[in-house]
Amino acid sequence: MVVLNRIYTRTGDNGTTALAAGGRRPKHDLRIEAFGTVDETNACIGLVRLHTADLPIDAMLGRIQNDLFDLGADLATVETDKPLPYEPLRISQGQVDRLEREIDELNADLAPLRSFVLPGGTPAAAALHLARTVCRRAERNVVELIQNPDETVSDAVVKYLNRLSDFLFVASRYINDKGALDVLWVPGQNR
């Protein structure tokens, strides 16, 4: 269990951040950017939950927030040549599978789309769209990180982020009265 009895440490005053297994990286490092953007996604979901407290979807969002901390820990724990004194926390395929089941559950009640959806409708749906776009940025950061041969990322991280953005999209439609309140794109409407 994590114990935080002092919030400021001053260790980041030199522009670096500690990784979970030791070592430090500049705060602008792509790995730090990736798990920082995951944290930003989590904060956006926290804002969504201000509107979903009495809805069944809130429990799903709560599980996702916990998963995102797991994912941040996964990204913050870089594989090293020497073994760690603990089993690192990694996102599992089971977490990805759960997201897929929840997407299917929410999507079952939605009419097929005939146009792209503009972010909006209800406040919760608009906030879900914001979370989705931040999640996509986190996914792009992680994919770029993977392109570096000196970096390692567990396989399920990209899968989870990819499914999460899909979940957030489907959830936005579900929250929008199962799509009835979706704001649809009208191509060329304002020419």
pLDDT digits (tens, 9 = 90+) for 7-51: 777 766 777 787 667 776 767 889 999 999 999 999 999 999 999
Query: How does pLDDT run across 82-121, given as a tens digit for each residue?
Result: 777 778 889 999 999 999 999 999 999 998 888 999 999 9
> What's this model's pTM, rounded to 2 decimal places?
0.91
pLDDT of amino acid 85: 72
- The pair of three-digit structure tokens given for residue 12, joined into one six-digit string: 């980041």
Query: How does pLDDT run across 110-130, given as a tens digit for each residue?
Result: 988 889 999 999 999 999 999
Query: How does pLDDT run across 140-173, given as a tens digit for each residue?
Result: 999 999 999 989 898 899 999 999 999 999 999 9
**Angle, vertex CA 131, rays to CA 64 and CA 73, nearest 5:** 45
Helix (H, G, I), strand (E, B), or coil: what is residue 7? Answer: coil
Helix (H, G, I), strand (E, B), or coil: what is residue 88? Answer: coil
